[in-house]
C-alpha cells in the first residue's frame, strides 16, 4: 500500500540552464516510426533504456555474426577477471582454421595474440578467429557456448540461446532484437576501452587487409559501432550505436534483404530517434529525493533516493510537461536495510506514465530500543 503522493516538478530538481532552454522549445510533432523491411528491429536510448521504436523485438530470430558481440563480451569479461590477457598467445587449431564463412586467415598451428584475434572477430568478423578464442577460453566451442548462455542469463536476456560462438546457422541458436540491445548496452558501458575497436574501419593481418562491413561507419560520423551479420537463413543483420550531442542510440535490425537494406534501415531508425526525441537526466543515483517517517527505529526517518541515475527519453520540446509523483509505503517499520525499496517514483508526461523506479533507503536504520518500539506501537494503534 502507498500513502499520500508527493508531487515534484522536475524543473525544481534540475540545475543546468541548458535544460530550461530545452523546456522552452515548442514540442515537435512525432510521426510514426519508419517502416523498414526487416523481420524484427528495435531502437532504444542508451542512457534511459527506453524503447523508441520496435517491431517483433521479442521474437526469437537468427542473429548470424551478431552472435560475436556476445563472444567478445565473454572474452572481455575473462580479461577483466584476470583469466586472460591481450598479449597472451593462442594456438590456432585445425577446427578453427577450417571453420567456414568469413575469415581472418589465421594459419593452423600458428600462435596469434588475443588482441589480434579480437580485432579479427570485431573488425573482420572472422569465424576462424572466433573459434580460436572460444577454444582458448573454454577448451571447446561447446564449452564456450555454455559460458555465453551463462552471461546471457546474468544480463537478463530472456529470448536467447547460443550453441556456437560464430552465429553459423543452428535451429537452437537464436536471440531477439531486445536481447541484442541489452548486450550492446553492456558492451558500451562495461568496456569503453575495447568498444573503440568497433569503430575501426579496417584491420590488416598476415598482409591481408579487410574492411569493416558496417557501411554506416563511412556514411555517418556519429556511428561508432557495432556489428554486422549475414547468413542465407538469417538475412542481413546490423546492430548499430551512434552518439549525437550527448545522446546515444542503439538500433538493432534483423533479417533484411541486403547489405544496403540493413544499412538504410538502421540509418532511418537512428535519424528518426535523433530528430524527434531527446534524453534528460532527472535524478542522480544515490542522491536524497525525500525522507520518510520510520517507526520502531533507532532513527525517526530514513533518506530515500534511487539506486541508479534516472534518465528519461521523451519527444522533443515536451520537457516542460514532465512531472513526477513519489509514492511512499505506509508505516515503514525498522529494521531497514540499505537499498531496501520503500516506494516508487512515477514519471509522467502529460498524465501518461513514462517510467517507474523504486525509491530505496539510502542508509540502514536499526531497530530502536524496547521503549522506542513500545511507544511507536502505541502511536501506530491510533494511526
**What sign has the CA pseudo-torsion 10, 14, 19, 20?**
positive
Catalytic residue of the set 48, 93, 125, 241: 125
- Choice among 48, 68, 93, 266 that is catalytic: 68
Q: What number of other Cβ atoms are within 10 A of residue 6's Cβ? A: 15
Q: Which residue has the cell 573459434?
A: 131
251 in catalytic set: no
**Catalytic status, residue 146:** no
Which set of grid coordinates corresponds to residue 329? 509505503
281 catalytic per annotation: no
Cα–Cα distance measured from residue 320 to residue 273, given in angstroms and rounded to the nearest whole number:
20
Contact between 339 and 365 under an 8 Å Cβ cutoff? The reply is no
**Burial track 46-77 (b if 16+ CB lie within 10 A, e otherwise):** bbbebebbbbbbeeebbbbbbbbbbbbbbbbb
Torsion of CA 42, 45, 48, 51, to 10 degrees: -30
The grid cell for 4 is 499520500
DSSP letters, 142-161, are HHHHHHHHHHHHHHT-SS-B
By annotation, the residues acting in catalysis are 65, 68, 125
Amino acid at each position: 500500500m502507498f500513502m499520500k503522493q508527493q508531487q515534484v516538478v522536475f524543473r525544481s530538481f534540475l540545475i543546468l540552464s541548458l535544460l530550461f532552454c530545452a523546456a522552452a522549445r515548442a514540442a515537435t510533432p512525432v510521426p510514426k516510426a519508419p517502416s523498414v523491411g526487416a523481420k524484427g528491429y528495435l531502437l532504444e536510448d542508451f542512457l534511459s533504456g527506453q524503447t523508441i521504436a520496435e517491431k517483433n523485438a521479442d521474437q526469437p530470430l537468427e542473429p548470424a555474426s551478431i552472435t560475436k558481440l556476445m563472444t567478445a563480451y565473454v572474452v572481455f569479461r575473462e580479461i577483466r577477471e584476470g583469466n586472460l590477457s591481450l598479449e597472451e598467445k593462442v594456438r590456432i587449431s585445425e577446427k578453427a582454421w577450417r571453420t567456414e564463412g568469413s575469415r581472418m586467415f589465421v594459419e593452423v598451428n600458428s600462435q596469434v595474440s588475443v588482441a589480434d584475434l579480437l580485432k579479427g572477430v570485431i573488425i573482420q568478423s572472422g569465424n576462424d578467429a572466433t573459434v580460436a578464442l572460444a577454444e582458448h577460453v573454454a577448451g571447446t566451442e561447446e564449452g564456450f557456448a555454455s559460458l555465453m548462455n551463462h552471461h546471457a542469463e546474468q544480463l537478463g536476456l530472456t529470448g536467447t540461446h547460443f550453441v556456437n560462438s560464430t552465429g553459423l546457422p543452428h535451429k537452437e541458436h537464436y536471440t531477439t532484437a531486445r536481447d541484442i540491445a541489452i548486450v550492446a548496452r553492456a558492451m558500451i558501458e562495461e568496456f569503453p576501452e575495447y568498444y573503440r575497436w568497433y569503430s575501426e574501419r579496417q584491420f590488416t593481418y598476415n598482409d591481408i587487409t579487410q574492411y569493416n562491413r558496417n557501411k554506416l561507419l563511412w556514411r555517418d560520423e556519429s556511428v561508432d559501432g557495432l556489428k554486422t551479420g549475414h547468413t542465407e537463413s538469417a538475412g542481413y543483420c546490423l546492430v548499430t550505436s551512434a552518439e549525437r550531442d550527448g545522446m546515444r542510440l542503439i538500433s538493432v535490425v534483423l533479417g533484411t534483404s541486403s547489405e544496403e537494406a540493413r544499412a538504410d534501415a538502421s540509418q532511418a531508425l537512428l535519424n528518426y530517434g535523433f530528430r524527434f526525441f531527446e534524453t534528460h537526466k532527472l535524478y542522480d543515483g544515490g542522491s536524497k529525493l525525500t525522507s520518510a517517517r520510520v517507526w520502531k527505529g533507532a532513527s525517526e526517518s530514513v533518506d530515500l533516493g534511487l539506486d541508479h541515475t534516472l534518465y528519461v527519453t521523451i519527444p522533443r520540446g515536451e520537457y516542460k510537461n514532465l512531472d513526477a509523483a513519489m509514492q511512499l509505503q505506509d508505516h515503514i517499520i525498522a529494521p531497514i536495510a540499505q537499498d531496501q525499496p520503500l516506494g516508487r517514483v512515477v514519471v509522467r508526461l502529460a498524465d501518461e506514465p513514462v517510467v517507474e523506479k523504486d525509491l530505496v533507503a539510502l542508509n540502514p536504520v536499526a531497530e530502536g530500543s524496547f521503549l522506542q518500539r513500545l511507544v511507536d506501537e502505541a502511536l501506530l494503534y491510533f494511526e
